[in-house]
A and B are shown apart, each in its own frame.
Chain A
Amino acid sequence: SQQGEEDPQALSIQEGENATMNCSYKTSINNLQWYRQNSGRGLVHLILIRSNEREKHSGRLRVTLDTSKKSSSLLITASRAADTASYFCATDAGGTSYGKLTFGQGTILTVHP
């Protein structure tokens, strides 16, 4: 079963604009990770944020985590056509579930040149 929900399900923007995707989850987590998937194949790890962190940056990516609201957001700044992909959040509950990722349904991002 899916842990989280992502919104929007689909997002269409122009190159240069920012893209924001949101993820909500249901149970306590050890960490939350964001992945990108092109053409329905392998997942590429983007960023990991621990439960005791609130914000993390990596290049044009900014991730926030609000454990009180059980939500996270991924911001891609100055988007490029190459950013077109599906984006998934995944939670790791830790403990006996350590390493078992539970994925959201994903957001399909389309960046128009």
Chain B
Amino acid sequence: GAGVSQSPSNKVTEKGKDVELRCDPISGHTALYWYRQSLGQGLEFLIYFQGNSAPDKSGLPSDRFSAERTGGSVSTLTIQRTQQEDSAVYLCASSLAIAGGTDTQYFGPGTRLTVL
């Protein structure tokens, strides 16, 4: 079946503009995760959704970052007033989220964001 997909694959924007990044998880996966990978910080957790709710937003770096998930499926990560330090690859993952158990996360190909 189809894996996790993300769009766009690449995004170049100007400092101060808003951007939206989209993630389509694997069908039937209830958990969805956003991570960010940058040269200076490595791979960082941003936010986690269980269904449409986000029990853990602890990784969002500032209030310019927000995310939502609708219908328990597609998720959008929005970055407002982008800064150059937001340049990174944004990775999305999904999992079955087996209650009380261990769980494999499947990653999408990522969106490479470049803020000029």
Contact = CB atoms under 8 A, between A and B. Distances in A.
Contact of B91 (A33, A42, A48, A96): A42
Contacts of A42: 91, 107-110
Interface in A43-65: 43-45, 48, 50
B42 A106 contact: yes
Interface residues on B, range: 20 to 34
A45 B105 contact: yes
A97 interface: yes
B43 interface: yes
A79 interface: no
Interface string B36-60: 0100001111001000000010110
Contacts of B42: 2, 103-106
B71 to A, nearest CB: 20
Interface string B58-75: 110000000000000000
Interface of B: 31, 33, 35, 37, 42-45, 48, 56, 58-59, 89, 91, 93, 95, 97, 102-110
